[in-house]
């Protein structure tokens, strides 16, 4: 009786470990669900929205301007941030805030991207910490899942980005 219970327990633990490994690989290499907080991506993504982030684009260098990405924060690697890609390596981007009288520009160095929140007046982004290394990108946001009324692909930026890139 004891042996039978032991084998059942070990079998259960084995299946749990297997499914745990499969789940880990799926979230690490395919994609993940992300709960977004903070005002920096409003109105595209608001606090408590849940989005789906896929990982293939990051691995195959298919991140483009206008994509929304999940990135390890350059200032605190324990947290992830959600921002829009404004410039890729070699692009000249505007580094000024919207209300600045004089505009300043910089070049995005090789292996980096320029990220900004859609809410330019309330976002800590590349205008604060500079270009972000491509290696910090965790995935590209492809769908808004929650709230269900807004289910579907994400909208384009509400800002006129043509004036942000030279």
Count how many domains the chain has.
Answer: 1
Quote the domain boundaries for residue 122. Answer: 34-163
pLDDT in tens, 66-75: 889 999 988 8
Residue reference for tokens 């976002």: 123
pLDDT digits (tens, 9 = 90+) for 11-64: 787 878 888 887 777 677 777 888 888 888 888 888 888 888 888 776 666 788
Answer yes or no: is 47 within a domain: yes
Task: Provide the annotated active-site residues.
Answer: 40, 83
In a domain, 5, yes or no: no
Is there a domain that residue 77 lies in?
yes
- Has residue 28 been placed in a domain? no
Give the containing element (helix H, strand E) for 81: strand 80-87
Cα angle value 165/95/79 (rounded, 5°): 105
């Amino acid at each position: 009786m004891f042996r039978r219970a032991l084998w059942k327990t070990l079998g259960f633990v084995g299946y749990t470990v297997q499914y745990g490994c499969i789940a880990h690989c799926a979230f690490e290499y395919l994609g993940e669900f992300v709960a977004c907080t903070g005002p920096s991506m409003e109105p595209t993504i608001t606090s408590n929205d849940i989005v789906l982030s896929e990982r293939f684009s990051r691995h195959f260098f298919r991140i483009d301007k206008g994509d929304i990405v999940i990135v390890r924060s350059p200032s605190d690697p324990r947290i992830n941030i959600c921002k829009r890609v404004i410039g890729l390596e070699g692009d000249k981007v505007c580094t000024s805030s919207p209300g600045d009288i004089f505009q300043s520009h910089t070049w995005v160095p090789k292996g980096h991207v320029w990220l900004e929140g859609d809410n330019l007046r309330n976002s800590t982004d590349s205008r604060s910490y500079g270009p972000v290394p491509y290696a910090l990108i965790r995935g590209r946001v492809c769908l808004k899942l929650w709230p269900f009324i807004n289910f579907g692909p994400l909208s384009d930026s509400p800002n006129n980005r043509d004036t942000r890139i030279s």
